[in-house]
């Protein structure tokens, strides 16, 4: 007999008082069985617990059935489950009550002699398969229980997350409302601030206009001087690529650079062409600093005040108030000083010829004024020579020819002076200009007398 429930070899513990019984002999004779014999049923069960065989057969004479039931029940009290199959071997059929009692005590099957070993091998296969299914079912139940518990935990976690999300959503909505309100308040404040800034700028401009009028009222002949200095300063600033914001501060400084004259011990600005006493000479040097100290009290004029403060500094270090040299003097202050000096040349007595102004500027370069600023001022002079007898034209370096006369000094972009105004160019001069232009770029346009 063959079946998928029949196992190839069965390990058996056989409990029998008679070692020579016919049933036990057939198990020993069949190679499909590995048999261990025990005299006592209790010992057989204990050995089965330790060795875990496929099958335990307890030989049970009719007059020992009740004792066998107690032995099996006692084993189950100590061990709730078992992996092996347990059969009771009976000499005769004890009747339904006894059969039920044995099966109820924990027997998996009842064997009525005579029976074949092959039949038992099939039966034990069925029981082992059943036990395997039971174990697998228990495993699945355990897994199912664990999965159910995990799902319950996840559900609880999800509920908590949901509650947290709802709480966070409420908080977020509340925060968004607050942010919206704060944004509205900020926009309102910005609007009010903008209006205040406009009013402040308007008031500041008004104060500047008043100060300018007060300055001009001191000396009649200096009316328009500040506006001209501002115009020259912005021309130079554009050539030197000064930012728009700095140009605004420079213009303010130019318009108010003489505000310190309001503190003059006399009346207005001392006339440099007249004989000055020591007090007037000292004040003429110090008035930019006094003006800066006056303007700096208003935050709107702070940048302009710092430009005015260094108006009387000279690039050779002989100026006032700190004796600064060259690059240590703020660039905007150097521009303002040059623009002020140029307009002062226009103011001194009868109209001055362009070549005289250019010569004077060149003499100031490197001493009082920054050569880079002087170079830009010379371009301003040439560009605004409407009433001058001198005619000037601009040419490129490649167009220079022998015999041309410079109408303005020639500088490199770093401020190095190559030639003075009125220099008559020869071939060596032109070669020098071309050579310098390769290594230290020269201004693109050279002004020559027409």
In this structure, are 177 and 227 located in the same domain?
A: no
User: In the prediction, which pLDDT does 186 show?
Assistant: 92
pLDDT bucket at 5, cuts 50 / 70 / 90: low
Characterize 115-147 residue by residue with b for buried, 16 or more Cβ atoms within 10 angstroms of its Cβ, and e for exposed. eebeebbebbbebbeebeeeeeeeeeeeeeeee
Domain termination site, one of 299, 318, 349: 349
DSSP helix/strand/coil, 246: helix
Domain termination site, one of 309, 325, 349: 349
- For 317-368, the pLDDT digits (tens) are 999 999 999 899 999 999 999 999 999 888 766 667 777 888 889 889 989 9
What does the DSSP 8-state code read for residue 405?
Answer: B
- For 232-250, the pLDDT digits (tens) are 999 999 999 999 999 999 9
In this structure, are 4 and 74 located in the same domain?
A: yes
Q: What DSSP string runs through 324-382?
A: -BGGGS-HHHHHHHHHHHHHHHHHSSSPPPHHHHHHHHHHHBTTTB-HHHHHHHHHHHH
Determine, yes or no, domain membership for 136. yes
Does pLDDT of 441 surpass 60?
yes
Mean pLDDT of the chain: 83
Beta strands 55-60 and 10-15 are parallel
Determine, yes or no, domain membership for 439. no
CB 253 within 8 Å of CB 304 = yes
User: In the prediction, which pLDDT does 422 show?
Assistant: 84
The proportion of the chain whose per-residue pLDDT surpasses 90, expressed as a percent, equals: 31
In this structure, are 195 and 227 located in the same domain?
A: no
In this structure, are 2 and 122 located in the same domain?
A: yes
In this structure, are 13 and 62 located in the same domain?
A: yes
Phi, psi for residue 175 in degrees, rounded to 5: -65, -40
CB 255 within 8 Å of CB 230 = yes
Determine, yes or no, domain membership for 436. no
Determine, yes or no, domain membership for 385. no
Determine, yes or no, domain membership for 68. yes
C-alpha dihedral, 337 to 340 to 344 to 347, nearest 10°: 180
Domain termination site, one of 151, 169, 204: 204
- For 152-164, the pLDDT digits (tens) are 999 999 999 999 9
The more confidently predicted of residues 275 and 48 is 48
Helix (H) or strand (E) holding 56: strand 55-60
Percentages helix, strand, coil for the chain (3-state, rounded to 5) are 60, 10, 30
User: What's the CATH code of the domain at 128?
Assistant: 3.40.50.2300
CB 12 within 8 Å of CB 33 = yes
Q: Pick from 128, 104, 109: which is nearest to 7 by CA?
A: 128
In this structure, are 36 and 169 located in the same domain?
A: yes
Determine, yes or no, domain membership for 432. no
Q: Pick from 249, 212, 421: which is nearest to 330 by CA?
A: 249
Strand partners, 117: none
In this structure, are 147 and 292 located in the same domain?
A: no
In this structure, are 185 and 299 located in the same domain?
A: no
In this structure, are 200 and 231 located in the same domain?
A: no
User: In the prediction, which pLDDT does 388 show?
Assistant: 60
Determine, yes or no, domain membership for 403. no
SS (H, E, C) 104-162: HHCCCEEEECCCCHHHHHHHHHHHHHHHHHHHHHHHHHHHHHHHHHHHHHHHHHHHHHH
Q: How far is CA 18 from CA 15, 61, 106, in A?
A: 9, 11, 24
Alpha-carbon distance of 323 to 148, in angstroms, equals: 90
The more confidently predicted of residues 272 and 75 is 75
Determine, yes or no, domain membership for 141. yes
Alpha-carbon distance of 136 to 83, in angstroms, equals: 12
In this structure, are 257 and 133 located in the same domain?
A: no
Model's pTM, two decimal places?
A: 0.55
In this structure, are 7 and 110 located in the same domain?
A: yes
User: What's the CATH code of the domain at 270?
Assistant: 1.10.3210.10
* Domain enclosing residue 242, as ranges: 219-349
Mean pLDDT, residues 47-57 taken together = 84
pLDDT bucket at 2, cuts 50 / 70 / 90: very low
Total structural domains within the chain: 2
In this structure, are 160 and 284 located in the same domain?
A: no
What tokens appear for 328 in the block?
Answer: 């240590």
């Amino acid at each position: 007999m063959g079946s998928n429930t029949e196992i190839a070899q069965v390990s058996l513990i056989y409990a029998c008082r008679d070692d020579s019984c016919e049933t036990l002999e057939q198990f020993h004779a069949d190679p499909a069985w590995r048999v261990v014999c025990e005299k006592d049923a209790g010992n057989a069960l204990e050995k089965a617990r330790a060795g875990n065989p496929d099958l335990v057969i307890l030989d049970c004479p009719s007059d020992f059935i009740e004792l066998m039931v107690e032995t099996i029940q006692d084993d189950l009290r100590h061990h709730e489950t078992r992996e092996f199959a347990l059969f009771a071997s009976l000499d005769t059929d004890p009747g339904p009550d006894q059969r039920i009692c044995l099966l109820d005590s924990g027997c998996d099957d009842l064997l009525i002699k005579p029976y074949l070993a092959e039949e038992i091998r099939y039966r034990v296969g069925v029981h082992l398969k059943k036990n395997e299914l039971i174990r697998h079912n228990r495993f699945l139940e355990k897994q199912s229980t664990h999965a159910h518990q995990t799902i319950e935990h996840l559900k609880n976690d999800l509920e908590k997350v949901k509650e947290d999300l709802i709480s966070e959503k409420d908080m977020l909505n509340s925060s968004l409302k607050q942010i919206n309100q704060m944004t509205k308040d900020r926009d309102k404040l910005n609007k009010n601030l903008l209006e205040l800034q406009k009013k402040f700028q308007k008031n500041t401009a008004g104060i500047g206009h008043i100060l300018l009028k007060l300055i001009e009222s001191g000396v009649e002949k200096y009316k328009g001087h500040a506006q001209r200095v501002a115009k020259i300063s912005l021309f130079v600033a554009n050539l030197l690529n000064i930012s728009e914001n700095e140009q605004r501060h420079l213009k303010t400084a130019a318009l108010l650079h003489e505000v310190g004259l309001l503190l003059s011990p006399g009346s207005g600005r001392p006339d440099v062409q007249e004989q000055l006493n020591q007090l007037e000479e000292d004040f003429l040097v110090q008035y930019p600093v006094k003006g800066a100290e006056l303007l700096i009290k208003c935050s709107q004029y702070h940048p302009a005040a710092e430009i005015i403060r260094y108006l009387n500094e000279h690039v050779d270090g002989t100026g006032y108030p700190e004796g600064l040299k060259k690059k240590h003097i703020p660039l905007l202050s150097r521009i303002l000083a040059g623009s002020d000096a140029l307009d002062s040349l226009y103011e001194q007595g009868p109209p001055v010829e362009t070549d005289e102004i250019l010569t004077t500027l060149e003499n100031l370069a490197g001493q009082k004024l920054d050569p880079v600023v002087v170079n830009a001022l010379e371009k301003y002079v040439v560009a605004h020579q409407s009433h001058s007898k001198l005619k000037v034209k601009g040419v490129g370096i490649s167009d220079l020819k022998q015999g041309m006369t410079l109408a303005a000094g020639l500088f490199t972009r770093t401020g190095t002076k190559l030639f003075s105004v009125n220099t008559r160019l020869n071939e060596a001069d032109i070669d020098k200009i071309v050579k310098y232009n390769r290594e230290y770029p020269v201004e693109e346009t050279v002004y020559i007398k027409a």
